[in-house]
Amino acid sequence: MTCNVGGSERTIRVALGVVLVVVGAFAGLPTWGTAAAFVVGAVALVTGAVGFCPAWKLFGINTCPAPTTAK
């Protein structure tokens, strides 16, 4: 897996994942809402932590900075 999620986006994904998991746990949502919050939050957390998003790969999006070559 090559990186396709850049630094700022990784931070946003991790923060969003934490917020969604907390909302799912404590907001008193219906069962389907709690499950959706947990699933979307978990996906955001994992893709942010790993730095790879399969959906970005599918659509050809890459927000990682290009590697610099040393001279």
CA 10 to chain centre: 7
The per-residue pLDDT for range 12-34, each reduced to its tens digit, is: 999 999 999 999 999 999 999 99
The per-residue pLDDT for range 27-69, each reduced to its tens digit, is: 999 999 999 999 999 999 999 999 999 999 999 989 988 776 6
Collapse the DSSP code of 14 into the 3-class scheme (helix H, G, I; strand E, B; otherwise coil) and give the result.
helix
Model confidence, pTM: 0.84
Q: Contact at 8 Å (CB) between 11 and 48?
A: yes
